[in-house]
A and B are shown apart, each in its own frame.
Chain A
C-alpha cells in the first residue's frame, strides 16, 4: 500500500516540525555546557572525599568552591537541559568511580564522561564502593525558569519561589547515623562537615537538599514545616528510603516560631541514640547567620596536629574477624598500635562509626570509659555511657572531652571491640586515665588493676588476627602489644608492652594436640566462624569432624551464598538437614548433612544467633538476636511463621541470644541480652510465662548470653557479670553462682590475683562466661569462659567443682555421645583453632578432664566447596553433635542413629 498524504496534512506536519525546531533551538539557547573537573582524595583521618579542581560554564559564572576535598563533595548546580563534561582524577590509593557515569578510575588516572541533566531534582553523585566513607556529593538540577519548591509563610500562604530569592542553600547528607553538611551563600560553597550548627537570620529563605545513601532515615527539623514536594500537604518529617534518596524543600527561617536553636535530627530512635542530630540556629535580624562547622576528617587528631579545627576519627564496622571496628586509617596507625581497632584523639575530638562493611545490625556501646566522663557536671554525661536501646543499621558519632581510655563494643556481638584514647597532648605518655568505669557498674577501677590490664590484653588478642593461637604452629604463642608509653593510675608512665608481658607472660608454649582414646559417636559439626575462603568476601566455615576417627571429614563454606559468620546449628529429627544461622546476616541456611550441599538460604530476621528444634514436633526455633523474638519454622517447611515475641507489645526489644527448649517441648527459654533477663515462653500459645531479671555480681548490664536447661532448672551465663543464674522452670531465681569469687580484679596483678577466696578448697575462675549446656542426664553443666577457662558445675550442688584450661575467646560447648556410654563435651574458642574434648564424669563431675585436642585445620585431602585462604580453623563457636543425644530429642532419632548408642544414652533421664 502506498502512503497517501494530502496537502493539508503536509502543512500540518511542516508547522509541527517548525514548532519543534523552534522549541529545540530555544532550549539550546538556554542550555549550558559545564566542564567539571573533580579529584578524589584521601583526607587526614583516612576517609575519602571529592574536590572541585575546576568548573567552567558556557553561561559564565560558577560558584567559589572550597580549596580542599570535602564531605560532602562540591555541590554542582545546573539547569535542566545542561550538559556536563565531567572529568575525575583519582589521587587516592584505591580504585574510585563516579555514579552517574559509571566510570572507574585507577589510582593516579584521570577519566571523563558526559552527562545530560535531563531531569529536575537533586541527585547524589558517588562512588559505588566508598560512598559510605565520604565519596559523595550533590548534583542539583533546577528548572530553567528558576522556579523552586514553594514555602509556607507564617499566615499559611504557600508562596511560589525562585532560586534567585534564596538567602542560603544547605546540603545535608544522611549517611550511617551522621549528617554531613555544606552550605552555599552568595555563590560561595562552605564545608560544614559533621552535624554542624546551621545558621540563618530570621525570615531568610533557606532551601534544604537532604540526601541519603545506604540505610534510610527520617529527616526532622523542629518548629518548621514545608510543602511536601510542592504539594498542599505540610510535613515536618520526611523519610529517605533505603538505598539512594533525596528530598528538597524551602523554608522561611523561624517563620511563625521565631529565633532560637532548633534541633534537626533523624527521627529513627536508634539513630537519635547514635547521635544523629544538630542545631539550626535562627538569629534575629542584624545578627550573623553564619553556620558553624562540625568535627572534620581534616581536623585535629593524633598524627594530624596541624590545625585547630575539631577533628574526627572514623571506625568502619565490618564483618572482618577481629577488625570489626576498623580505623579507616589503620594502615598508618597499626605499625604503632599493633591493632586496627585503636584510635587516638585530643580532648574535644570526635569519634565516628559507620556500618559500611557489615550485613548485621549492631549497637555502638561504651563498654568502659574514664571515670568522670559521665560526671553530671560535665557536658559529656549526656553522651557517656553511650549506647542504643535497639540494634540497627547506621553508625554513631560522639564528641569526647575527658582524657583516658574508652572501649566500644556491640551489645549483640560483645566481642567486637574498638578503643579510643583521648590523649591530653600536655601529658607524657598516652592517657589511659587514673581509673575507668565499666558498663556493669564497676566504678573507679584503677588502670593499674589486674582487670584493667587483663581487659587491655583481651582487646589486643581479640582485635589482632596475628595474635590468635595457632595450634598447628611449632612456635610458641607470641601476641604483639604496642610498645608505647602510657600514663596510668597515680600518673605513672609505663611501657604498655612491658606491663602486659610482665603480667601475662610471653612466648607461651601451646599444649600439644592429641586424639581422645575412646572414639565419639557420629559427627561433630563445628562453626569455624572466622575461617576465610577464596570464593567469598564473608568469613566462616563449618568443620565436620568424624568422631569415630577424630579426623576432619568436610569443610563447608557455601561460597554461592557468601555464608557470613555461621554461628550455631541444629538439625531435624532425621539428622538429614542441618540448620545454620548466619550471625552477621539475616539468614538461616538449610544444609544437606550427607554431602554438605546447600538446600536453601532464607531471610529469617536481623542477626539470627541460635537455632534449636522443639523436640515434640520438630518445629525449628531461631533466636532473632538483633530484634525481639523467636522465629518459628514448622517442621518440614522452610517458610518462617510470625515470631514468639520475647516481650509485650511496645516494650524494649529483648535481643534473645543462645536459647534452649525444654525436653517436653513446652517452653522456650531465652537469655535476653538487651533487657538483661531470662525469658520463659509457652511454645504453644507464644505467651510469656516468666521473665526473671538476671545478674548478681555487679549492678548493671549482666548481659545474659546463653542458657542450658537441665531436668528442672535453667542455667544462664551472665557474660559481663561473670556469674551464672540458676532458675526454676517457673522462672524463680534459685541461686546466683559467682564465677569470679576467687579473683581480685582491683589490685595490680600479683601472686594473690587468683586464690581460693570463697573457701571451697578450689581455685576456679570463669571470666566472661558464654555457652553453658547441661549434659543429657542433667548432672553436669559445662561452661566456656571467654577469659580462657572451662568451668564444671555439679547440678546436685549448684557450684563449680572443677576448672579446666581453655583458649582465649573460649566460647562454644555442646555434648555428643561417647562410644560405649557417657558423653563428651566439645569446646571451641574464637581466637584459636583447636577443639577441646572434655570427658565428662557423670558420677563425679569434679573428675571431668580434657580427653583430647583436635586441630580444626583441614589438610588438602579434606573435601570442601571452597579453598581456605586464611585464619585456618579459627573462630570456633557453635557446635552440634550428630546424632542429637539430648533428652527429648534422642528418643526421636531414626533407628539407624539409635543403633550407635547405648541403652542409657537412648534414654538419658529414665
Chain B
C-alpha cells in the first residue's frame, strides 16, 4: 500500500463510512506511512462510530463489546467465543464496565449478551483461531445474529452470500457489527459464526451463543401454581441458557442478581431454590430435531397462551421455559436420538 492507496482508502472510508467503518485493520507490519494511514482510518472510524451513537437512534443503552473467536484446545476441533470487554453507556452518558460478569475463558455456548429493547450494541470480533497449514488471510470468522435489526454490513456473512463483502474477522483484521435491539425484538435469540471454513460457518464446532433482549415492559409470563402469571423480570432468579446440540445440551447459568455468567458445559446439573422463578432459554443448533421435556413442570406457550409440558424445537429455533421451581426433576430431549445419546441433566431444587 502506498500513500495514494492510503488516501484513496481514507476517502472511501469517509464516503462509505457507514459501511467501511465496520473494518478495523490491525497487526500490520510497522511502517511509518502505514501507521499514519491506519491512524487516519481509525480516527475516521472512531469519529463515525461516535457519531452513530449520538445520532439519536439510540433510545436506550449503548453497548461496546469486544469478543474473540478462539480455538481453546489445541487437540480438539472445538471453536468458541470469548468475551474481552463489555461496557454499557446509559442514555445519560454514564458508562459502566460489566466485563467481570463473564467467564474469562472461551466457552460453549459463548457469552450471553443481554440487552434491553431500545439498546444498541457495537461488537468487535477478533479472530485468534490459528491457521497453521495455510496462512490464509481470507479465513474468516463472524457473528451472525438473529432477531434484532442490523444492516447488510452487520449480517456476518461472506461476500459469496451477501454480494457485498466478507463480513468477518481475519487473522489480521477485526470486524465490528452493530446490532439494534429495536422495540419489537424482545426475546431470546441465537448468534453464531457464518463464515469459518465454508460459507456455512463453523457453528457446529461451538461458535454460537445467545442474545437475550429484555422487553420494555420488563415482565415475564411464568407458571405459578398451575396458572400463567405475569411477573416482573426482576423476580427471575436464574437464567439457564441451554443450547441443544445434536448430541448434548450445552449450558451457561446466569445469576440474575449479580449478572454473573457461569459456563456449565455438557448436560449440566442445574440448581434452583424452591419457590424461585427461573427460565430455561432453549436454542437448538445442528441438524437434529428435539423434544424438550421437564417432567413435573408445565410452562406458558407464547403462541397459544396455554400451559404446555413439552416442546418440539428444530435447529436455531428458540423457546423460553419460565417456571417457578418446586420439585427436583430432570430435563431431557425425549426424541429417539435424544434418549440414545443420553441428552439429559438433573434439575435439583433445594427446599
A-B contacts counted at CB < 8 A amount to 175
Identity of the chain A residue whose Cβ is nearest the Cβ of B180 in the assembled complex: A256
Scan residues 168-211 of chain B and give those whose CB is less than 8 A from a CB of chain A.
Answer: 180, 182-187, 189, 198-200, 203-206
Residues on the B chain within 8 Å of A268, using CB:
286-287, 314-315
Taking CB atoms, residues of chain B closer than 8 Å to A636 are none
Q: Is B315's CB under 8 angstroms from A267's CB?
A: yes
Known: A390-B246, A652-B77. A233 touches B302 (CB 8 A): yes
Question: Is A271 among interface residues, defined by CB-CB distance under 8 A?
Answer: yes
Tell which of A238, A270, A277 touches B317, judged by Cβ atoms closer than 8 Å: A238
In the docked arrangement, what's the CA distance between A46 and B244, Å?
A: 40
Which A residues touch B76, using CB under 8 A? 648, 651
Q: Is the CB of B287 within 8 A of A649?
A: no
Q: Are B200 and A273 in contact (CB under 8 A)?
A: yes
Best-surrounded residue of B108, B182, B184, B189 (most CB of chain A within 10 A): B184
> Is B340 touching A269 in the complex (CB atoms < 8 A)?
no
Known: A218-B315, A260-B155, A261-B164. A650 touches B206 (CB 8 A): yes
B183 near A155: Cβ-Cβ < 8 Å: yes
**Shortest Cβ gap from B32 to chain A (Å):** 33
Q: Is B342 interfacial (CB 8 A cutoff)?
A: yes
A605 proximal to B (CB < 8 A): yes
**When the two chains form their complex, are residues B316 and A237 in contact, meaning their CB atoms are under 8 A apart?**
yes
Known contacts A237-B314, A262-B155, A267-B315: A225-B185 contact under CB 8 Å: yes
Q: Which of A217, A236, A258, A624 has the most CB of B within 10 A?
A: A236
A389 within 8 A of B: yes
CA distance A225 to B213 in the complex (A): 14
B303/A389 in contact, CB under 8 A: no
Chain A residues with Cβ below 8 Å from B275 are none
A643 interface residue per 8 A CB criterion? yes
Please give the number of chain A residues whose Cβ is less than 8 angstroms from any Cβ of chain B in the complex: 66
- B-side interface residues, number (CB < 8 Å): 62
B162, CB-defined interface residue at 8 Å: yes
B204, A269: Cβ atoms closer than 8 Å? yes
Contact with A along B39-64 (1 / 0, CB 8 A): 00000000000000000000000000
Interface residues of B in 246-275 (CB under 8 A from A): 246-248, 250, 265-267
Residues of B within 8 A of A605 (CB): 336-337, 340
Q: Is the CB of A269 within 8 A of B287?
A: yes
Find the A residue at minimum CB distance from B155. Answer: A222
A775 CA to B49 CA, complexed, in Å: 72
B200 touches A272 (CB 8 A): yes
Chain B min CB distance to A438 (Å): 19
Query: In residues 609-647 of chain A, which contact B (Cβ within 8 Å)?
Result: 624, 627-629, 631, 640, 642-643, 645
Residues of A338-397 at the interface with B, using a CB-CB cut-off of 8 Å, are: 379, 382, 389-390, 392
**Stretch of B4-12, B121-129, B145-153 with 4 or more beta carbons under 8 angstroms from chain A:** B145-153
In the bound assembly, the distance between CA atoms of A631 and B340 in angstroms comes to 8
Residues of A within 8 A of B199 (CB): 382
Task: Tell me if B149 and A261 are in contact (CB < 8 A).
Answer: no
A752 at interface by CB-CB < 8 Å: no
Do A642 and B267 form a contact, CB below 8 Å, given A267-B316, A269-B200? no
Q: How far is the CA of A71 from the CA of B266 in the complex (A)?
A: 43
Interface residues of A in 134-167 (CB under 8 A from B): 152-158
Q: Chain A, 672-712, contact with B by CB distance < 8 Å: what is the 0/1 string?
A: 00000000000000000000000000000000000000000
A642 and B342 in contact, given A157-B184, A272-B200, A649-B267 (Cβ under 8 angstroms): yes
Q: Which residues of chain B come closer than 8 Å to A382, judged between CB atoms?
A: 160, 198-199
Closest to A686 in B: B342
Q: Which residues of A contact B315 (CB under 8 A)?
A: 218, 237, 267-269
Residues of chain B lying within 8 A (CB to CB) of residue A260 = 151-152, 155, 162, 164
**Inter-subunit contact B314/A218 (CB<8 Å):** yes
**Are A650 and B245 in contact, CB atoms less than 8 angstroms apart?**
yes
Query: Counting CB contacts under 8 A, is A216 at the interface?
Result: yes
Are A642's CB and B78's CB within 8 A?
no
Please tell me if B341 contacts chain A, counting CB pairs below 8 Å.
yes
Complex Cα spacing A645 to B246, Å: 12
Chain A residue at minimum C-beta to C-beta distance from B151: A258
Contact surface of A with B, Cβ cutoff 8 Å: 152-158, 216-218, 220, 222-223, 225, 228-229, 231-239, 241-242, 256-263, 267-273, 277, 279, 379, 382, 389-390, 392, 603, 605, 624, 627-629, 631, 640, 642-643, 645, 648-653
A–B complex contacts, Cβ < 8 Å, 12 sampled: A152-B184, A156-B117, A217-B314, A225-B184, A234-B185, A237-B318, A257-B149, A261-B163, A269-B203, A642-B339, A652-B204, A653-B246
The list of the 4 closest CB pairs from A to B, nearest first, reads A156-B184, A260-B152, A239-B314, A156-B183
The interface of chain B, by Cβ under 8 A from chain A, is 76-78, 108, 117, 144, 146-147, 149-152, 155, 157, 160-164, 180, 182-187, 189, 198-200, 203-206, 245-248, 250, 265-267, 285-287, 289, 302-304, 312-318, 336-337, 339-342
For the complex with contacts A217-B314, A237-B146, 11 further pairs of A-B residues with Cβ separation under 8 Å are A155-B184, A228-B302, A257-B149, A269-B203, A273-B198, A279-B163, A392-B287, A605-B337, A643-B341, A650-B205, A650-B247
